[in-house]
Amino acid sequence: MEKSRPLWDNPLQFVFACISYAVGLGNVWRFPYLCQMYGGGGFLIPYFIMLIAEGMPLLYLELAVGQRMRQGSIGAWKIISPYLCGVGVASVIVSFFLSMYYNVINAWAFWYLFHSFQEPLPWATCPLNSNRTGYEEECEKTSTTQYFWYRQTLNISPSLEASGSVQWEQALCLTLAWLVVYLCILRGTESTGKVVYVTASLPYCVLIIYLIRGLTLHGAVNGLVYMFTPKLEQLSNPKTWISAATQIFFSLGLGFGSLIAFASYNEPSNNCERHAIIVSLINSTTSIFASIVTFSIYGFKATFNYESCISKVILLLMNAFDLEEGSLTADNLSEMKDYLMATHPQEYAQLSPQLKNCSLEAELDTAVQGTGLAFIIYSEAIKNMEVPQLYSVLYFVMLLMLGIGSMLGNTAAILTPLTDSRVIAARFPKEVISGVVCFINCVIGLIFTMEAGNYWFDIFNDYAATLSLLLIVLVETIAVCYIYGIRRFEKDLQTMIGRKPNWYWKVMWAFASPLLIISLFIFYLTDYILTGTLQYQAWDATQGQLVTKDYPGYALAVIGLLVAASTMCIPLGALVTFIRKRLKRESVPTVA
């Protein structure tokens, strides 16, 4: 009796799983930054063009391959062509790298979540120094939220070389994060299918709550107006188009093998074309939705900081010139400054280095992305809201849901090929295989909980997946269109869905998407070559800000290894298959 492949209980679970995987932290912390840098509302134009040109076609391709072949990435590409087993292996290796470092973000989200149950929030005030006469020096130089992130969460070392020790608090949170992931993938699609209902829908509830709260905050409109006014001149900047293409590409999570894994658990007659369109549209809409929330938070924070700056200047002037309270307000500040400059020139000159020019534009201009946006900027905005504990808990639960949803996809990409291979699956039940994978990842992930861990995190985040994925997806597209043959693929789709793909899909698969990926690839390579030495941002505790440093030699070696480990699999796989076929041909005697 043949053991049937586990299936999703209904197509909705599959769609939710894909949405949960694709809608991740990148939608929240990368898209708003790109929108701000590359022309505000105008960025949506290249974004949607790229969605249509590469996002939807490539997503449909991966889902169709997975659904047709009904195997994980290694098995699926082997069926397409035996020389392409390296592509599947490369996907698994990239997913492995990703799951190693991605769960650390969940650990940080847990840390902040557990610390949200205090009054006041721990990132709202600076801790006192040793003789209790003032605040900690490092905290004074920078802001309370930055201090909490860099010192109390990461306990970051001044450079990559100074590794420091493993932070036991972070290690505990990382272990918990892996236990949560294990709980969700323990029973395969049975458990994953139920979990994705929560991980896909809860972030939207929180985003809606934050949208309502964000739009009613004082100063939110400043942020929205500033960010969304289109700066159409940015459209002529090639970086805009490249960033749009990159964002669509990485946001959908193509090339990791997760989409193939999810689709392989589908019924063969599932309408993956419709699902591909739905998932990609929902992903892009969520990005825009999240950036509205982010911009209103930015506006609130910028207005708050601007008004504090003005109050500080007023206080300084009042104290220096012993003016009556209430005589200086935000409205008459500039006139009073001129008046004071005229009447007391010497004292004013002495005071002027301390008088900062407060500007709302300058506050709004600080563009942040990544962990900085998620953990520093948002927590800064939250501490100034009413009932900050509630909003803090909601926000970090949302980050957790987004992160765990993406982790489910990553681990599915690693586990599906393993459970498909009869060598391993026959001997060990899937609980044991999942457990071993989670355990290995957790132990390796302890590197990122060391004092220099955040620098290694940045290395993995920037280099582990970028080039390799572009190459993998390029090979995938070319393989399906030209090696497997687009007519054969058309027929397969017709068998599955009931109709052939129309000319839009075929044109995109055969020409547009590969061309786009090749141009992205060339751009990245030239960018790396032209920059020369790679640099990173290190936290300087004495100054209270980030400084740029060069990577040491061994870090560059690790970067090279990360990229090579996955990209080399593709030619190596083809080579190994070729050699194996040659050997088989030679060993089998020719039948007369």
Partner 1 sequence: MLRVLLLTLSVVAIAHAELCKPDAQNAFKVRLSIKTALGDNAYAWDANEEYLFKAMVAFAMRRYSSKSTTQISNVLLCNVTDRVSFWFVVTDSSKNVTTVPGSEVEAAIRLNRNRINSAFLLSDKTLQFLKITSTLSPPVEPSTPVWLIVFGVVLCLIVAGIVFLIVAGIQQRKKRNKESTERENLEEKGEVTVTVENGIPCEALDLKAGHINGVFAADDERFTSL
Closest CA to 348 of 311, 323, 329, 330: 323
Based on the shown chain and the rule CB under 8 A, indicate whether residue 115 belongs to the binding site for partner 1. Answer: yes
- Per DSSP bridges, beta strands 545-550 and 535-540 are antiparallel
- Known binding residues for Na(+) are 22-23, 27, 251, 283, 402, 406
Based on the shown chain and the rule CB under 8 A, indicate whether residue 172 belongs to the binding site for partner 1. Answer: yes
Q: How far apart are CA 575 and CA 561, in angstroms?
A: 20
Based on the shown chain and the rule CB under 8 A, indicate whether residue 332 belongs to the binding site for partner 1. Answer: no
Q: How far apart are the first and last CA of the chain?
A: 38
Q: How many residues bind partner 1 (CB under 8 A)?
A: 44
Closest CA to 478 of 521, 505, 517: 517
Of 129-137, 250-258, 404-412, 530-538: span binding partner 1 (CB under 8 A): 129-137
Token pair of 325, please? 């309270």
Q: How far apart are CA 280 and CA 252, in angstroms?
A: 7
Based on the shown chain and the rule CB under 8 A, indicate whether residue 173 belongs to the binding site for partner 1. Answer: yes
Based on the shown chain and the rule CB under 8 A, indicate whether residue 183 belongs to the binding site for partner 1. Answer: yes
Q: How far apart are CA 236 and CA 172, in angstroms?
A: 48
Q: How far apart are CA 103 and CA 175, in angstroms?
A: 10
> Among 182, 300, 375, 460, which residue sits at the site for partner 1 (rule: CB under 8 A)?
182
> Among 285, 494, 535, 543, which residue sits at the site for partner 1 (rule: CB under 8 A)?
494
Nearer to partner 1, 277 or 579 (CB): 277
Based on the shown chain and the rule CB under 8 A, indicate whether residue 429 belongs to the binding site for partner 1. Answer: yes
What's the min distance (Å) between Cβ of 507 and partner 1?
A: 22
Q: How far apart are CA 67 and CA 264, in angstroms?
A: 5
Of 29-37, 70-78, 127-135, 137-145: span binding partner 1 (CB under 8 A): 127-135
Token pair of 288, please? 């825009």
Closest CA to 495 of 262, 271, 276, 274: 271
Nearer to partner 1, 44 or 400 (CB): 400
Place of tokens 């700066």: 231
What's the min distance (Å) between Cβ of 176 and partner 1?
A: 6
> Among 12, 41, 128, 483, which residue sits at the site for partner 1 (rule: CB under 8 A)?
128
Closest CA to 200 of 29, 410, 16, 407: 16
Based on the shown chain and the rule CB under 8 A, indicate whether residue 389 belongs to the binding site for partner 1. Answer: no
> Among 237, 269, 343, 350, which residue sits at the site for partner 1 (rule: CB under 8 A)?
269
Based on the shown chain and the rule CB under 8 A, indicate whether residue 267 belongs to the binding site for partner 1. Answer: yes
Q: What angle do CA 424, 407, 200 make, to 5 degrees?
A: 125
Contact 290, 30 (CB under 8 A): no
- The contacts of residue 29 (CB under 8 Å, 6+ apart) are 369, 370, 371, 373, 374
> Among 161, 338, 347, 431, which residue sits at the site for partner 1 (rule: CB under 8 A)?
431
Based on the shown chain and the rule CB under 8 A, indicate whether residue 107 belongs to the binding site for partner 1. Answer: no
Contact 93, 508 (CB under 8 A): no
Based on the shown chain and the rule CB under 8 A, indicate whether residue 532 belongs to the binding site for partner 1. Answer: no
Of 1-9, 32-40, 197-205, 579-587: span binding partner 1 (CB under 8 A): 1-9
Residues that bind partner 1 (CB under 8 A): 1-2, 4, 7, 110-111, 113-115, 117-118, 125, 127-128, 132-135, 172-173, 176, 179-180, 182-183, 186-187, 191, 267, 269, 318-319, 322-327, 429, 431, 494, 497-499
